Amino acid sequence: MATVTGVADASRREPRRARRRWHGRDGDRVPSWEEVARDEGDFIYTVAYRLTGNREDAQDLVQEVLVRVQRGLRTYRPGSLRGWLARITTNAFLDDARRRSRRPVTALPDDPDVVLPPGPDAAEAADAERLPDHVQAALADVPTEFRVPVVLADVVGLSYAEIAEELGVPVGTVRSRIHRGRLALREALA
């Protein structure tokens, strides 16, 4: 059963080695939406968290991605499912960033009596623990045009060519953005 974020409850998931991966090994079989949400929800959340930098925005992004996946499964051609999911996640993040730049959001009040954030579940806590807070904060400060390629290369593990195709820019531009993003991250951590 899926939680609010679409990520399977950690206590009900199958062991990691037993979960099915959809990387074209089953021939032409396309996974169902439920299989994607259950088996790849953690991956989607991890990418979303690294792009957004906070749990709440990552949860919103995961929900948007799962809606887009449900619409797009009809046209999905078996291949690199994770690459396809990373592309959808990145595009949803960039769409949201553009939308937010057009309509600035008013911050919630700092009074804890007004807003109490929910505690993380086990999967979120595990994902959040993978990078120390100061590294995640430094990554969040890297401009979006540099952060996206850095996350796709260093967190998702896409090749420069795959990132170039996903972002619609030349490979040289990807290399430059990754270099500048890593440099900005290095300076922020120094």
**Spatial CB neighbours of 159, under 8 Å, sequence gap ≥ 6:** none
Segment 155-176 mean pLDDT: 90
Confirm whether pTM is higher than 0.85: no
User: pLDDT tens for residues 23-32?
Assistant: 444 456 788 8
Segment 73-89 mean pLDDT: 87
Contact by Cβ (8 Å): 5, 41: yes
* CA–CA distances in Å: residue 103 to residues 56, 69, 135: 18, 26, 28
Q: Which domains does the chain have, with CATH numbers?
A: 1-106+121-130 (1.10.1740.10), 131-190 (1.10.10.10)
Segment 14-22 mean pLDDT: 43
Contact by Cβ (8 Å): 44, 89: yes
* CA–CA distances in Å: residue 73 to residues 31, 76, 101: 8, 5, 30
Q: What is the pLDDT at residue 80?
A: 82
Of 110 and 93, the structure prediction assigns the larger pLDDT to 93
